[in-house]
């Protein structure tokens, strides 16, 4: 019984090896026909330009940097400047900052600043 089992295992392993070889050949054929990859580097300074905003690959990163800078600006105001000024003036400035943010998003959408 053990001999039959080893023959069956040998047969199955032989079929697995053939299937693996054919898959490897198919994969290597697909790779050799693929166009060469172009080397791109992520430059943080370039993400702050309008060219990056128009590039479909860089636009999400550029928009994220815009949001992070805006969040830093608002957070700095709320943590350090807001406690030093009166509540009424602080709330007015925060309301103006919210309106400025919404108007900037509206402008970016209308002028198609960031590529979708």
Q: 67-115 pLDDT, tens per residue?
A: 999 999 999 999 999 889 988 999 999 999 999 999 999 998 999 888 7
Q: Is the model more confident about 63 or about 33? A: 63
Q: Distance between CA 77 and CA 84 in Å, rounded?
A: 10
pLDDT of residue 72: 95
Cα separations in angstroms, 20 against 1, 12, 15, 32, 67? 29, 12, 9, 18, 48
pLDDT of residue 47: 75
Is the CA virtual torsion 34, 35, 39, 43 positive or negative?
negative
pLDDT of residue 97: 94
**pLDDT per residue as tens digits for the range 3-49:** 556 666 666 566 556 666 665 665 555 455 555 555 555 667 777 78
Query: Per the confidence metrics, is the pTM higher than 0.85?
Result: no
């Amino acid at each position: 019984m053990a001999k039959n089992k080893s023959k069956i295992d040998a047969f199955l392993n032989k079929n697995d090896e053939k299937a693996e070889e054919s898959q490897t050949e198919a994969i290597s054929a697909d790779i050799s026909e693929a166009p060469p990859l172009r080397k791109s580097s992520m430059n943080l300074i370039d993400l702050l330009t309008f060219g990056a905003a128009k590039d479909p690959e860089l636009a999400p990163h550029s928009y994220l940097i815009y949001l992070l800078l805006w969040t830093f600006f608002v957070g700095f105001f709320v943590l350090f400047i807001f406690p030093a000024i009166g509540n009424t003036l602080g709330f007015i400035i925060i309301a103006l900052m919210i309106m400025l943010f919404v108007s900037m998003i509206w402008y970016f959408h209308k002028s198609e600043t960031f590529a979708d």
